[in-house]
Structure 1
Amino acid sequence: MKTVKLLDREFRVSIPAEEIDNVIAQMAEKMNKDLAGTNPLFICILNGSFMFASDLMKQITVENSQITFMRLSSYDGMGTTGKVKKLMGFTEDLKDRTVVLLEDIVDTGITITNTLDQIKDYEAKEVLIATMLFKPDALIREVKLNYVGMEIPNDFIVGRGLDYDGMGRNLPDVYTVIEK
């Protein structure tokens, strides 16, 4: 079993990089069909989604696609604070555009519903949500997800953009914390 140590915790591989790559490729294929002719604007929710967004966008073939970034924060250590801080917004015009929010993970739903609240006044034609990972057992806010890579258990994970106090984002696989 492949493990890594980050700060004071040990983690074991739970989703290999190849599996994530396949899921993202399938998601991109579906988006390419669904979004054809829409001039979509993808909004990457930083910091965690940067790897997912990069992997996905390399496979998006929809003409006139654009990507921008929005930075939010809701975690401290291994737990959510329950509050979302907007650290960096975007400047693109969303009016009458198809917007696709890119999230690394949807767990409680707090971050994504907060993001939806923040952009509703921008008059987008439609707002879709794509997430690499989804923890249905952690969901406390109702949210409609349009593209879901994988459903996973409600465990604390790192890797592929996800972090533990800023550590582990660079890992190509996803790791689950080993509880002691």
Structure 2
Amino acid sequence: MARKREFDEEVVLETAKNLFWKKGYNAVSTQDLIDAFGISKSSMYGAFKDKKSLFKLALKHYTHNTSEKMIAILNENNSFQQTIHGILQQLVKENMCDAESKGCFMVNTAIELAPHDEEILTIVQQNRKNIIAAISKAIQKGIDVKELSEKNDPEALANYFYTLINGLRVEGKVVKDQKSYDDTLKIALRSIITTTD
């Protein structure tokens, strides 16, 4: 019979996510994790194997609560313009409310680890692929229902918005200027060609 764990795995993953997100992978030691969890080293290793395995689970946990939710919103049958505007506004709100200026865990990981870790690079690239595919699909829906002009290139526009999303997340680490964000969003939305243009 399997031994019951002495901790709540969801709580541990949330704690690990926040610690890695705030400090980065390399700045977090195994002892930092154990101290934050309040569990024994043997329990941590028994459940998560090692620091990198735990980091990947924490990154997956973050993706579930960010990228997958964004994709779900994009998959709804709503106006693309309203949907993408809502997503961008939410990112700006998160930037303005982020007192610790953590930015985006996925973007931080891409910068810190992806250039020299093939496994992490694959995770980051798959996340990128999934989001761009969802944006492109939503744009095509907008074209099909004649909300958007056929002059729009779904893949190119999706790449643009993905890059903008990541740019906003990086800005969140250094910028707390609502007007600057508002001006950026206005210009971004002008890149969408509507059927009335």
Please, what TM-score do these two structures have when normalized by structure 1?
0.25
Relative to total residues, which structure has the larger strand share, 1 or 2? 1
Which one has a larger percent helix, Structure 1 or Structure 2? 2
TM superposition score normalised by structure 2: 0.23
